[in-house]
Amino acid sequence: MSRLVGKVLVAQGGGPTPVINQSVVGVALEARKFTQVTSVYGAVHGVRGIIDENFVDLTRETTHNLEQVSNTPSSGLLSTRDKPDEEYCERMFKVMQAHDIRYFFYVGGNDSSDTVRIVNEQAKAANYELRAIHIPKTIDNDLEENDHCPGFGSAARFVAQAFGGINLDNRALRGVYIGVVMGRHAGFLTASSALARKYVDDGPHLIYLPERAFDTDKFLADVDRIYKQHGLVTIAVSEGISDASGTPMITKLLGKEERDSHGNIQLSGTGALGDLLANTVRDGLGIKRVRSDTFGYLQRSFMGVVSDRDAREAREVGEKAVQFAMWDDVDGSVAIKRPVLDYSVDYQLVPIGNVAGKTRHMPDNFINAEGNGVTQEFHAYCRPLLGSGMPESHRLRAPSVAKILHV
The nearer residue to a copy of itself, 29 or 335, going by C-beta atoms, is 29
User: Considering only residues 90, 147, 169, 201, which one is a binding residue for a copy of itself as defined by CB under 8 A?
Assistant: 169
The nearer residue to a copy of itself, 291 or 379, going by C-beta atoms, is 291
The nearer residue to a copy of itself, 3 or 394, going by C-beta atoms, is 394
User: Considering only residues 38, 264, 270, 348, which one is a binding residue for a copy of itself as defined by CB under 8 A?
Assistant: 270
Cβ–Cβ < 8 Å for 110, 356: yes
- Per CB under 8 A, the segment of 219-227, 287-295, 309-317, 375-383 that binds a copy of itself is 287-295
The nearer residue to a copy of itself, 173 or 380, going by C-beta atoms, is 173
User: Is residue 57 a contact point for a copy of itself (CB under 8 A)?
Assistant: yes
Q: Closest separation between CB of residue 180 and a copy of itself, Å? A: 9
Residues annotated as catalytic are 140
User: Is residue 236 a contact point for a copy of itself (CB under 8 A)?
Assistant: no
Q: Closest separation between CB of residue 50 and a copy of itself, Å? A: 11
User: Is residue 378 a contact point for a copy of itself (CB under 8 A)?
Assistant: no
What does the DSSP 8-state code read for residue 374? B
Nearest to 371 by CA among 219, 253, 184: 219
Q: What is the DSSP string of 220-279?
A: HHHHHHHHHHHS-EEEEEETT-B-TTS-BHHHHHHSS--B-TTSPBP-SS--HHHHHHHH
CA distance 127 to 321: 22
User: Is residue 256 a contact point for a copy of itself (CB under 8 A)?
Assistant: no
User: Is residue 205 a contact point for a copy of itself (CB under 8 A)?
Assistant: no
Cβ–Cβ < 8 Å for 70, 25: yes
The nearer residue to a copy of itself, 78 or 220, going by C-beta atoms, is 78
- 140 known ligand binder: yes
Cβ–Cβ < 8 Å for 314, 23: yes
**Residues 62-121 interacting with a copy of itself (rule: CB under 8 A):** 62, 65-66, 68-69, 71-81, 94-95, 98-99
User: Is residue 274 a contact point for a copy of itself (CB under 8 A)?
Assistant: yes
Angle at the Cα of 284 from the Cα atoms of 282 and 285, rounded to 5 degrees: 70
User: Is residue 278 a contact point for a copy of itself (CB under 8 A)?
Assistant: yes
- Per CB under 8 A, the segment of 102-110, 114-122, 221-229, 273-281 that binds a copy of itself is 273-281
Dmax over CA atoms of the chain, in Å, equals 91
* Residues in Cβ contact with 239 at an 8 Å cutoff, skipping those fewer than 6 apart: 180, 181, 182, 183, 184, 250, 267, 268, 273, 294
What does the DSSP 8-state code read for residue 403? P
User: Is residue 166 a contact point for a copy of itself (CB under 8 A)?
Assistant: yes
CA distance 204 to 42: 42
Q: Which residues pair with 6 in a beta bridge?
A: 37
- Per CB under 8 A, the segment of 162-170, 329-337, 358-366, 370-378 that binds a copy of itself is 162-170
Other CB atoms within 10 Å distance of the CB of residue 97: 14
User: How many residues are given for the chain?
Assistant: 407
User: Is residue 164 a contact point for a copy of itself (CB under 8 A)?
Assistant: yes
Mask of contacts with a copy of itself, 18-37, x by CB under 8 A? x-------------------
User: Is residue 298 a contact point for a copy of itself (CB under 8 A)?
Assistant: yes
Q: Closest separation between CB of residue 353 and a copy of itself, Å? A: 27
User: Is residue 361 a contact point for a copy of itself (CB under 8 A)?
Assistant: no
The nearer residue to a copy of itself, 260 or 364, going by C-beta atoms, is 260
- 114 known ligand binder: no
Angstrom CA distances, 367 to 149, 225, 236, 364, 370, stand at: 19, 20, 14, 5, 8
* Residues in Cβ contact with 265 at an 8 Å cutoff, skipping those fewer than 6 apart: 248, 250, 251, 257, 258, 259
User: Is residue 177 a contact point for a copy of itself (CB under 8 A)?
Assistant: yes
Cβ–Cβ < 8 Å for 164, 196: yes
User: Is residue 398 a contact point for a copy of itself (CB under 8 A)?
Assistant: yes
User: Is residue 290 a contact point for a copy of itself (CB under 8 A)?
Assistant: yes
User: Is residue 283 a contact point for a copy of itself (CB under 8 A)?
Assistant: no
CA distance 69 to 175: 41
Binding residue ranges = 15, 110, 138-140, 182-184, 239, 297-300
Binding residue ranges for diphosphate = 15
